[in-house]
Chains A and B, each alone.
Chain A
């Protein structure tokens, strides 16, 4: 037993190697700061879930990591380190190699991004040949293997996209994203447009492939209940900031930020007793003019003028992410004062 453990240790170390580090990322769209000082870390082979409501900046982070941000969006601060190298400084040729080879992306509507006039197989060939010296025949064989991996009959290589269902097209995109064996796959709402059964099938498959190939996933969604099952760690975003990061288990059992608590209380349970839920009153702020202090304070049930000291901090001082337990970071004045 002891000898076996000794062998296991280096493998664990290798797996926990840092892959992506986002530090103080700041992205502006004109006057609106969509991402404001975001820190994220993804280790090798890890699934990091990033959750929040529409407009909170999740997709902007995904685009920044691949440097596919479109104007007027612009990174105005911070760094994005991939294996220690700042990708914001990559030259165009380096960037071309970095994309797809190191990091690939699957978008929400990705199933509609296949070229409708090209057979599925040729779309694999294009991707493979753009990055590798490989002849068409061998590329097609690889494409067939990739389709098989995601559970599609390799004979479907000859199909046109319209001949496949939405779930199958989304799987094709995942197979293309896997084709150059990247170390990180960014998935931005990859299953949101699909039915629950198909969603479950695809997530199971991504999980199995991850075990086999050891890639890491940045999984972006608005569906926190999905992340509780699927992710290793979860970061919750609100109005351009990360408000809480912790393991999926801990998030489910001990969420600390009032926004996280409200978000989790917005998903009614499918089993067990039903209680009346309240959701979160109000709506997310306009990022051209975010509230002073804590951005969540206008919707926060714990922000009341009766507690003047706390109230003053909540409405004037911006909370910062602090580690309050091992691996559990929260940006909240209330938590800091030990009150949640």
Chain B
């Protein structure tokens, strides 16, 4: 198993919600721990509001965690600028993340100059190299263009070329394909896979698309209401999901390989519990078909019934002590 590039332990983020007189705390991220390994893609999957983007933003240091530690190659990151060059983030919207009045070349050049990656007389050559790496040809022509002259998929490639410039060890990709047309998405996923394999980059791929996650990732983290409810090697988790939420997600997702009408899913009463001042007990309880008495009393912990595959469920992954 390759080394952990980035490791988080007990990551927690609370937001204050409500009015000034009735302030309460939303547990957007609650006790989240995982490691991103060099050369692998880890998918972080969950519904909107589950806290998955918050995790990516904290790791990119765009947001401070309430508690928890982030270790970069085993150490707490000291130098802010250095951390930011080692751990890069790509956002969902390639239309919003580029400055419309600057050329593509300018966007890719800036991080190279700020982080002094190459001497300034080599910047242009490196820009062209990077554009070619992400499949944008001919590089010299692309570099002279403005963002509006490129398609969505090309812009997302520019965003990737820009983060590659600083030679990051970790790339956090926050729904990088969800704004793109379907015929373009696969190209971006293939590019991520190639960069992980060829350059040993550790990817965190935040998505709500299970099939895309399976296509590109090695490992999966499933988040629900701020907590990781299941994690492990993705093929194993999807073949034998332990947590009832993972099972629900799997039964709801359309699968082009299986056209049999999917099992009817029971309406589970609306949205994921936003964990506002969560009480003791399992957060999935209101939607859970397997619930037993203990689920409303004791918060389940992540338990690992199979090596490397863990779930937070009293029924399918009971804790050995209870």
Contact = CB atoms under 8 A, between A and B. Distances in A.
A268 B215 contact: yes
Interface in A261-280: 262-272, 274, 276-280
Nearest to A276: B190
Contacts of B187: 278-279, 281
A267 B182 contact: yes
Q: Which of A165, A198, A200, A223 has the most CB of B within 10 A?
A: A200
B267 A201 contact: yes
B183 interface: yes
Chain A interface size range: 35 or more
A156 B216 CA distance: 42
A210 to B, nearest CB: 14
B253 A196 contact: yes
B186 A266 contact: yes
A261 B248 CA distance: 29
A168 B153 CA distance: 32
A280 B183 contact: yes
Contacts of B184: 279-280, 283
Interface in A170-208: 195-201, 204
A109 interface: no
A267 B256 contact: yes
B215 A277 contact: yes
Nearest to A198: B271
A226 interface: yes
Contacts of B267: 151, 201
B293 interface: no
Contacts of B249: 196-197
B186 A278 contact: yes
A284 B186 CA distance: 16
A228 interface: yes
A272 B255 CA distance: 10
Given A225-B256, A276-B190, A262 B265 contact: no
B182 A271 contact: no
Contacts of B238: 270
A197 B211 contact: no
A263 B182 contact: yes
A270 B255 contact: yes
A252 interface: yes
A274 to B, nearest CB: 6
Given A53-B181, A266-B186, A271 B48 contact: no
Given A195-B208, A268-B214, A269-B257, A200 B183 contact: no
Interface in B158-201: 181-187, 189-190
A266 B182 CA distance: 6
B110 to A, nearest CB: 26
A271 B258 contact: yes
Contact of B185 (A196, A262, A266, A271): A266
B262 interface: yes
B208 A225 contact: no
A197 B47 contact: yes
A224 interface: yes
B248 A279 contact: no
A252 B214 CA distance: 21
B265 A270 contact: no
Given A270-B210, A270-B253, A200 B265 contact: yes
Contact of A54 (B181, B210, B211): B181
A278 B190 CA distance: 8
Interface of B: 47-48, 151, 153-154, 181-187, 189-190, 208, 210-212, 214-215, 238, 248-259, 261-262, 264-265, 267-268, 270-272
Interface of A: 53-54, 151, 165-168, 195-201, 204, 222-226, 228-229, 249, 252, 262-272, 274, 276-281, 283-284
Given A222-B182, A276-B190, 8 more contacts: A197-B268, A201-B265, A228-B256, A229-B262, A266-B185, A269-B257, A280-B183, A281-B187
22 contacts: A53-B182, A151-B267, A165-B270, A168-B270, A195-B271, A195-B272, A196-B253, A201-B267, A204-B265, A225-B211, A228-B259, A229-B254, A229-B259, A252-B259, A266-B182, A266-B186, A268-B189, A268-B211, A270-B250, A270-B258, A271-B257, A276-B190
